[in-house]
Structure 1
């Protein structure tokens, strides 16, 4: 894995305002259990049906941080892609997301700051009823153009 050559995402010069990426994700039990196991989060609102039934939500919720993880993975995998780093985020979750929901996530580049090597990305997520469940804005540092390791290795030879 360490030596496997991986393609980096799009450099800042390859991005344009208006570039988009969309994906759909379904929240499955295995995803929730992995998140809860990794974080040791034992909030009964996320896992106990009997507790959640007594709240205004009526059933268990998907943790907001888990939804943010889906957004973060879109940045890492797609736009700008591998080598990117989120440096600032502002997210809101206007409607709860329940277990087994299918989320439609859309991201759009709204600003490019080449001097600061940063792009602004707007995020919107909707559920099956087309209700907004995630609204946000990210500032992302796209991957840097790297100099080849061999580019200067033969400079001493004439």
Structure 2
């Protein structure tokens, strides 16, 4: 098995506990948004043009939902369960927009473990200031083998 020097695999299914949690904060910076938009060739004016966004219910540019997904995917890959894991299924709802330079709090919690399928069900919630729910969902994750 080839892994980067010093990197170890995340938790295998038998090492994961129901109720295990991960909490972290992420600031949605313009530099990250511009990198995403450049990589995907996404030029949606809702994400970058103040003149357009002011005429929408949002009143200013918002962060694409897929960028929020990317932060969650990264947390799964790095921390819970960690390197070697991947998301098999996801069901996420988005309730409020996230604006440029807002900080969001993301909470992941293991809810179920299926040893036979080698999957864990992880609930995800994200909030912005004043505990405003931004997203809520469930991920089915395959831990490293």
Q: TM-score, normalised by structure 2?
A: 0.96
- How far did 1:47 drift? 0.4
Count of aligned pairs? 144
| SS in structure 2 of the partner of residue 129 of structure 1 | helix
- Measure the CA separation in 2 of the matches of 1:117 and 1:2: 21
Cα RMSD (Å): 1.2
Counterpart in 2 of 1:101? 102
2:124 paired residue number: 123
Corresponding position of 1:31: 32
Displacement of 1:5 in angstroms is 4.4
Matched, 1:57 2:65: no
TM-score under structure 1 length normalisation = 0.88
Question: Which 4+ runs in 1 deviate beyond 4 A?
Answer: none
2:19 is matched with which residue? 18
2:9 is aligned to 8
The reply on whether 1:110 has 2:86 as its aligned counterpart is no
Deviations along 1:17-38, one digit per CA (max 9) or x if unpaired, are 0000011000111110011011
Which runs of 5 or more structure 2 residues have no equivalent in the other structure? none
The structure richer in strand per residue is 2
State the alpha-carbon separation in 1 of the partners of residues 72 and 88 from structure 2.
Answer: 14
Larger Rg: 1
